[in-house]
Structure 1
Amino acid sequence: MKKIRVAVIGCGAIAQRRHIPEYAVNPNVELVAFCDPIPDRAQMCAEPYSAQAFTDYEDMLREVKPDAVSVCTPNILHAPATIAAANAGAHVLVEKPIAATEEEAQAMIEAARRNGVYLMVGHNQRLMPPHRKAKEILQSGKLGKVLTFRTSFGHPGPERWSVDGRDSWFFRKDESIMGAMGDLGVHKSDLIRYFLEDEVAEVAAIIDTLHKEDTAVDDNAACVLRMKSGAIGTLAASWTYYKGEDNSTVFWCENGVMKVGTHPEDQVIVELRDGTVERYKVGAIATNEKQTASGVIDAFVDCLVTGKAPDISGEEGLKSLKVILGAFQSYATGQIVKLS
């Protein structure tokens, strides 16, 4: 089979640590081009694969004509880079959040549809083994209806992760648009939707910058969600968990409780009201310090090989983004926001 020719737009940390190495080991992929406004960074990524390096993605799309691209740019560039790639006939895997605004996301979805290409969003939390197992348990019905939940995602901040440290675009509001909520909160709004197979009906939030200096982006958020099913819960996103990164979710249900990511070895724990306790060792949730294969690259490539549309589609990315945008609206207005 002819290999899929893949280009990467944006050569920062997420590209270097996840996208590029996972493409490199996929037997169906040939990495053909890398684009970054910093020439040395693009060249550094390109050299191991005898690929071409560019500083302008329009030039790269025109000259290389890749089959597919990963968009790993600052948030503000997700829409223009994705739309340009789709217009060039390339399938797109875009990092989360899908876009900075609902209008941009809609334009990306329309560009993919118009050009007959796939658009997938990098919501890797759906693919982590503990989250897959937890979803399976919820679907089994043994816990009954989910009544309440809490989900949290926090780490010390992007300065520990980004290739540019404290000078990262994550802290520049004109490029990132949103901080911890765009970095981590949108992962959890997507995960709750995935777990519950339900949509968020209402959101209320407090979002602020508590500790990161010289930035206008949020470093903490606390949200209350009501699902269409009636279940209520909390969602927290933080860049100030300086000791003890957290990516956990707990569901309190009719027949017991399920804890996901709360124990270092038993990644999923089910405690039923009859006293039964089930513990599952199914593989760790990836962290910034301990990388595991995200599954996103393989899922994207599998769509291209099989012709099956991605489950984590542009439409799914938009729905998860709308929760976060609703949270910002809630904080700005002091009101509970109803989502359509």
Structure 2
Amino acid sequence: MRKSTVVLIGLGRIASSLEKDPYRNKPCTHAGVLFSGWGKKNFQFIGGIEPNADKRDSFSKQWKLSPELLHEDWEDWKKFKQIPDLAIISSPSESHYRNALDCIEFGIQNLLIEKPVCETFVQAKDLDKFARKKGVRIWVNHERRYHPKYAWAKSVIESGKYGEVRTIRASVLTSALAPGRAYKGRTGPLFHDGTHAVDLIYWLLGKPDRVRSSLTRRKGIPVEDRAVAFLEYKSGPIVFLEAGGARDYFQFEMDIMTEKARILLSNDGMKLFESRPSRIYKGFNSLTEVSFPEKSFLGSNPFENLYSSIRKVLTGKSESMTGDISENLNIMELLHRIKTKAEIQTVSEI
């Protein structure tokens, strides 16, 4: 079976350089998958687009590629390059919308876009409309959907084994003191990082019936330092969400409490607690930690699982996959509701 041809747009952090992080489970970038043993058997990298010359140079050295494969912009590419089967948009958030439109106008039929799919809900709606008109498939990389333990949590919740979800505490905590991309662009930590938590909330529970929220901003800074939201569902669950938070650390955590269990999913590890007869209170049940299931219908690496799903669609082995543009419209709408309904507090410093 022939390989799926790929162009990579944006050759920076999530595209490539994070692969140099010695602590991360590999592959952890788009290039890391494409140039892995499995990736080379299924995908053919035919070029990259990156306006920053230093990033192009670093990318070509890291993956031992000819500099001729890497281009400054679309006009340079269009002069002599073929239309790939798949375009991966891993450029900064503010360029996702324009890059996606360029890909579609060029005739590319399949796009994988880094989160958030666009800067705003309005842009996302416009992109979806244009893609539908042209018959283009778009997926968005919220890679935790492809993590085996997050996928297990979704399946066990849907099975009803532990009863109904009662409460979720979701936190994506970052530092405005050492902020990274979230505070440099126009998206802010809610859209840039909080999108992962909102994606999982929607994936597990769907659209909330009521949203209350607040934002904290510093004077002269267009994006929030902290976003807090309280989401309510008529079916019963409530969700507490915090993004940003002005912490001197990074922390992602989903603390899911059901009628009979607690499922803790975080970057620091996964824990599972079940309701068992208490050893400290006679006649009561307490939460007792048990072993987290090791088996899953997915492989161990989220990035590989994502690309495996894409490959199945491209080769006709599957008709659809999780995380497409229609789902992301709902996620962007929820982010939009949190932001636009928020009470805003402006402070002089954090």
Report the TM-score, using the length of structure 2 for normalisation: 0.79
Q: 1:53 and 1:218 mapped to 2: Cα distance?
A: 36
Give 1:73 deviation, angstroms.
1.8
Structure 1 counterpart SS, 2:315 = helix
From 268, 278, 282, the equivalent of 2:290 is 278
- Contact 2:253-2:267 within 8 A present in 1 as well: no
Q: 2:294 and 2:193 mapped to 1: Cα distance?
A: 23
- Contact 2:147-2:301 within 8 A present in 1 as well: no
Give me the CA root mean square deviation: 2.8
From 203, 208, 221, the equivalent of 2:216 is 208
With 105-114 and 84-93 compared, the bigger mean Cα shift is at: 105-114
Structure 1 counterpart SS, 2:15 = helix
Structure 2 counterpart SS, 1:242 = coil
Give 1:219 deviation, angstroms.
2.9
Q: 2:255 and 2:215 mapped to 1: Cα distance?
A: 22
Task: Name the counterpart of 2:348.
Answer: none
- Contact 1:118-1:310 within 8 A present in 2 as well: no
Is 1:317 paired with 2:336? no
Task: Name the counterpart of 1:138.
Answer: 157
- Counterpart mapping for 1:193-232 below 5 A: 193-196=202-205, 198-209=206-217, 215-232=221-238
- Contact 1:71-1:92 within 8 A present in 2 as well: yes
Amino acid at match of 1:52: L
Structure 2 counterpart SS, 1:301 = helix
TM-superposition CA deviations, 1:138-191 (whole Å, max 9, x none): 12212211122211122446957x6xxxxx5x433xxx3221111221111110
- Contact 1:171-1:216 within 8 A present in 2 as well: no
Amino acid at match of 2:151: R
TM-superposition CA deviations, 1:18-76 (whole Å, max 9, x none): 11111222121111111111123124324624461111134425632222111112222
From 46, 52, 56, the equivalent of 1:32 is 46
Q: 2:171 and 2:215 mapped to 1: Cα distance?
A: 14
Amino acid at match of 1:205: S
User: Residue 200 and residue 52 in structure 1: after superposition, are their counterparts in 2 closer, same or farther (change >3 A)?
Assistant: same
Task: Name the counterpart of 1:55.
Answer: 72
Q: Return structure 1 stretches of 4+ with deviation > 6 angstroms.
A: none
User: Residue 158 and residue 62 in structure 1: after superposition, are their counterparts in 2 closer, same or farther (change >3 A)?
Assistant: farther
- Contact 1:130-1:260 within 8 A present in 2 as well: no
Task: Name the counterpart of 2:257.
Answer: 252
Amino acid at match of 1:317: N
User: Residue 66 and residue 52 in structure 1: after superposition, are their counterparts in 2 closer, same or farther (change >3 A)?
Assistant: same
User: Residue 61 and residue 70 in structure 1: after superposition, are their counterparts in 2 closer, same or farther (change >3 A)?
Assistant: farther
Q: 1:235 and 1:14 mapped to 2: Cα distance?
A: 25
Amino acid at match of 2:97: A
User: Residue 110 and residue 260 in structure 1: after superposition, are their counterparts in 2 closer, same or farther (change >3 A)?
Assistant: same
Q: 1:87 and 1:259 mapped to 2: Cα distance?
A: 44
From 74, 86, 104, the equivalent of 1:86 is 104
Structure 1 residues not aligned, in runs of 5+: 163-167, 284-290, 335-340
- Contact 1:119-1:310 within 8 A present in 2 as well: no
- Contact 1:152-1:188 within 8 A present in 2 as well: yes
Task: Name the counterpart of 1:72.
Answer: 90
- Contact 2:214-2:344 within 8 A present in 1 as well: no
Q: 1:41 and 1:66 mapped to 2: Cα distance?
A: 22
Structure 2 residues not aligned, in runs of 5+: 19-28, 278-284, 346-350
Figure out how many residues of one structure are paired with residues of the other and give that number.
Answer: 311
**Bigger Rg over Cα:** 2
Q: 1:68 and 1:269 mapped to 2: Cα distance?
A: 38
Give 1:226 deviation, angstroms.
1.4
Task: Name the counterpart of 2:12.
Answer: 12
Amino acid at match of 2:255: V
Structure 2 counterpart SS, 1:324 = helix
Give 1:241 deviation, angstroms.
3.3
Structure 2 counterpart SS, 1:37 = coil
Task: Give percent identity, aligned residues only.
Answer: 23
- Contact 2:207-2:334 within 8 A present in 1 as well: no
From 186, 189, 192, the equivalent of 2:198 is 189
